[in-house]
Amino acid sequence: MQDEIKKVIIEPGCIGCGLCESIAPEVFQVRDISRVKEGVQFEQYRDKIERAAKMCPVGIITYEK
């Protein structure tokens, strides 16, 4: 069994491109910059979170297990 994702972090430097929200709208919300929605059960969206982190053009999305 893989370790659960406990926390999703968006470091400073977001350019507001919206890619993370298009990949995982259940987790991310972009207005001027990206934010992680409150109350999300991250483990339900593990694949989407990992993809959003990998695809982020400025590499600022990370997560803790």
Return the CATH number at 18. 3.30.70.20
pLDDT tens per residue, range 8-64: 999 999 999 999 999 999 999 999 889 999 999 999 999 999 999 999 999 999 999
Taking alpha carbons only, the member of 29, 30, 18, 20 closest to residue 62 is 20
| pLDDT score, position 3 | 84
Q: Is residue 2 part of a domain?
A: no
Residue 1 pLDDT grade (very low, low, confident, very high; cuts 50, 70, 90)? low
Strands 7-10 and 28-30: unpaired
| Contact assessment for residue 30 and residue 21, using Cβ atoms and an 8 Å cutoff | yes
E strand residue ranges, 1-65: 7-10, 28-30, 34-36, 61-64
User: Do the domain assignments include residue 33?
Assistant: yes
In a domain, 11, yes or no: yes
- The one-letter amino acid at 4: E
Q: Which pLDDT value is given to residue 7?
A: 96
What pLDDT sits at residue 42?
Answer: 97
Is there a domain that residue 30 lies in? yes
